[in-house]
Chains A and B, each alone.
Chain A
Amino acid sequence: MTRQKRSHHKLKRAVAPYLYLSPSLLIVGLLMLLPMVTVIAYSFQNSAVLRRDPSFAGLKHYQAIFDDPVFWASLWHTLYFTCMSVVFHMTIGMIFALMLNSDRINPTLRNVLRVLYILPWLFTAVIIAVIWRLLLEPNGVVNSILMQMGIIGSKIEWFSSPETALHAVTFANIWAGYPLFMVSLLAGLQGIPKDFYEAADIDGARAYQKLIFITIPQLMPIIISISLLDFIWTMQVFPLIWITTGGGPIYATEVLSTYTYKLAFSSYNLSQASASAVVILLISLGLTLFYIRYQRAR
């Protein structure tokens, strides 16, 4: 009797955590795993979704997108867009964080700058896209300032000329994304013991030596974590590009997400779109595994 009771109690204790987990597992399963598996399945079918009884296609759709120069252009644009974004997010975030953390700058000014620098973070991708479309219009503010300063001779169509479009969207994305880096790095900077710098002062370290030998190594865990996360997020950016350039002009800003979207909803080639989506998934997955491995190693 008592033994039965005890084993019952044990069972309850063993099962309880899974009971608590089950709602979230259910949601993850329904909203993430199921669509993921479905998309993977589509990528191996002929005329997926469009036909009732799609036939097995093998790797045909993968072959098709790998043969498509636009896919490779998109991949290249994605990498350029992502790498530039991460590098400049990091650089700008670091510079601003160092400025905000420096006690050589007046505290009141520092507080004002802090608010100012964080502003881009308050806007959603759509608003950012609209802001930059207005700013970078041929008759917009940026052109008129650059012309006044004599840097450019004629009005540039930033988003609609193939030479500048990719740089322009990358620039907008850099502007939109550095505050996360700035805030994270600032928190990290404030956590570095003052003693480290004082000991270095006594040892004769110059400012750049303190940066290289103390600040950056101390911030390394943060730098690596947020860079990897930013890489994963930026790879998948869609709204900003969709609203500013829509991938154009003539594929000049086509990235994997817009490429896939167009395959699915302009060409209704859902099978190829799925194959392209799976490629994005694999790249993201690789980066995520890298991130998890790094997190675990620490």
Chain B
Amino acid sequence: MPDTEAGATHPDIGDIRIEDVVGIKEQTAFERVISSQAFWVTIALIGIVALMSYLQPDAFASQANAYNMTRNFAYIGIMAVGMVAVIITGGIDLSVGSIMGVTGVVCGILLQAQYGWYIAVVAGLATGVVTGLINGLLIAYAGLSPFVVTLGMMSFARSIAIVLSENKMIYDFGPDGAAFKIIGGGQMLGLSNIFWALIILAVLIGVILKFTTWGRHLYAIGGNEQAARLTGVPVNRVKTQAYILSALTASIAAILVVGWQGSAINALGTSYELRVIASTVIGGANLMGGEGGTYGAVVGAALLEVIRNSLLMQGIDSNWQGAFVGVFIVLAVLLEKIRGRRRA
């Protein structure tokens, strides 16, 4: 705080600050928006879409491609809006890809065993709740590092998925297979159900983050966990619930993707955790905690998919994708750092 120093040595200058001089009393809503990372990522997204629509009006700007792109980023986005709750607390969840795998296998096995589609859905969601609960209890109550616990769960859940599936693809879904496939494979108003599920979850979780005490407590924990504890925030419970939410969104994504693809494989979700984390970070979530939102997570996921799709359309070797994604992640964090310095 350089102004406090100035106040002490030059009493006549005192605590005058830029805001006072230019007459800005409070940050307006407009200022808040344009100083947010999600805003600039949205601009980049619109820019790339506009450019590609100009370069490839038939291939890129087609109805079919719009359908594909929105579906392809939707399941990453669904996981990202859950992950963002964890990241806001200053944690991380590396296990979402594996939780997706084990959920898919659980659903597949139940359908194959002739159980109803709703049994498969409930069991899939329960798989998420249980794995998330285990993560949360070990992190919040046993005090273990989120990185280590979820790395362990990543390995554990993937192994369970392989064992349960006996390392085979499950595609013979029994009598309720058709109903189950409609959930994830269907469409409304020209867009995939998976995309609509993303929109609903992003709005719902977004509202919870910004307008409820639970959301407020997530941000408080990420800002200063010790302070949150001292003021009576139920830190352990809130953290546990954040990991449950993250795992639950991974299970929802799994149920939808298995329905869409019509089969369950134990490799489902492999390495998705990195894409999910990248989406949240590109969208403005801070891995140190205290910042982030579902809108950012969604546009972050969308940006990654649009880049992937654009490279493909431009005939660029698909092996370059990782490089582009990496550059965007680092750029996003760099942008955040520059803005942070200006703020301080």
> Are A and B physically bound partners?
no
| A interface residues with partner B (beta carbon < 8 Å) | none
| B interface residues with partner A (beta carbon < 8 Å) | none
